[in-house]
């Protein structure tokens, strides 16, 4: 009997290529983002069918605020529309929605709808969908460091208690499995200030496919490549083989 296929428990994705997808069609970049939202559904359905526990999507980086005002405005409109029209369906599918990032930068109506979406879906267990919005990996680490520094200053913990485990508990995504598989579409091979701490042992997978063109075949290839990789976490191959017995 062949061993069960190794599946990623947590998949983290940089959804890149929306702008180029639209530009190749001589259409505004905002159309690429709308097409990108359709690809999110494809990806979510695939992960639900695979039994993935967590899916983390980089929807808007800390740096994306510096894009032309027109594009930022179109993205805000899209986020608002998705929050208005998609949350009930996600809730019905038992998707738990979480937002990670500095949400104070968003307009008040978006912040309110983010909080409502989280509350409405808090008890769902089919999959956790983490949406990184106004997120940066460095922001996440600095925020955790500041929280721990405040705990030390207030006498709640001693500096010697700060270790990797406690630090990890202060970061976004605390309590979820660490990402097993990182996917970036759009051809660039960078992490771009995504989950800097959390990706320490994650398998990285890159594709030229532009995000709006994402399909099941591309995701299948990523999952199959992941299943074929040997994850050593700093050990030797022999040690990994012994541990698996």
Residue 20 binds to ligand FPP (criterion: CB under 6 A)? yes
> In this complex, which beta carbon is closest to ligand FPP, that of residue 82 or of residue 148?
82
User: Which residue in 13, 47, 82, 222 binds ligand FPP (CB under 6 A)?
Assistant: 82
User: Which residue in 15, 110, 117, 148 binds ligand FPP (CB under 6 A)?
Assistant: 15
Give the span between the Cα atoms of 191 and 179, in whole angstroms. Answer: 13
Binders in 124-143 for ligand FPP, by CB under 6 A:
131
User: Which residue in 8, 12, 13, 19 binds ligand FPP (CB under 6 A)?
Assistant: 19
Active-site residue, 140 included:
no
Q: 241 Cβ partners below 8 Å, 6+ apart?
A: none
Residue 101 binds to ligand FPP (criterion: CB under 6 A)? no
Residue 117 binds to ligand FPP (criterion: CB under 6 A)? no
User: Which residue in 57, 87, 148, 219 binds ligand FPP (CB under 6 A)?
Assistant: 57
The residues carrying an active-site annotation are 16, 64
Binding site for ligand FPP (CB under 6 A): 15-20, 33, 36-37, 40, 57, 59-60, 64, 78-79, 82, 131, 186, 211
């Amino acid at each position: 009997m062949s061993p069960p296929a190794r599946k990623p428990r947590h998949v983290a994705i940089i959804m890149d290529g929306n702008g180029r997808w639209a530009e190749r069609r001589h259409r505004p970049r905002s159309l690429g983002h709308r097409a990108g939202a359709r690809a999110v559904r494809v990806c979510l359905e695939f992960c639900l069918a695979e039994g993935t526990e967590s899916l983390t999507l980089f929807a808007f980086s800390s740096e994306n605020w510096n894009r032309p005002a027109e594009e930022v405005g179109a993205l805000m409109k899209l986020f608002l529309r998705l929050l208005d029209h998609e949350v009930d369906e996600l809730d019905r599918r038992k998707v738990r929605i979480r937002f990670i990032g500095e949400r104070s930068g968003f307009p008040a109506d978006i912040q309110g709808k983010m909080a409502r979406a989280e509350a409405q879906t808090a008890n769902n267990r089919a999959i956790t969908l983490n949406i990184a919005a106004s997120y940066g990996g460095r922001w996440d680490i600095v925020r955790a460091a500041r929280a721990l520094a405040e705990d030390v200053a207030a006498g709640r913990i001693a500096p010697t208690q700060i270790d990797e485990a406690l630090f990890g508990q202060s970061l976004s995504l605390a309590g979820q499995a660490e990402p097993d598989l990182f996917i970036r579409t759009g051809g660039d091979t960078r992490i771009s200030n995504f989950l800097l701490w959390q990706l320490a042992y994650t398998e990285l997978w890159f594709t030229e496919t532009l995000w709006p063109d994402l399909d099941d075949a591309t995701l299948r290839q990523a999952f199959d490549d992941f299943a074929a990789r040997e994850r050593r976490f700093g050990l030797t191959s022999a040690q990994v083989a012994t541990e698996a017995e």
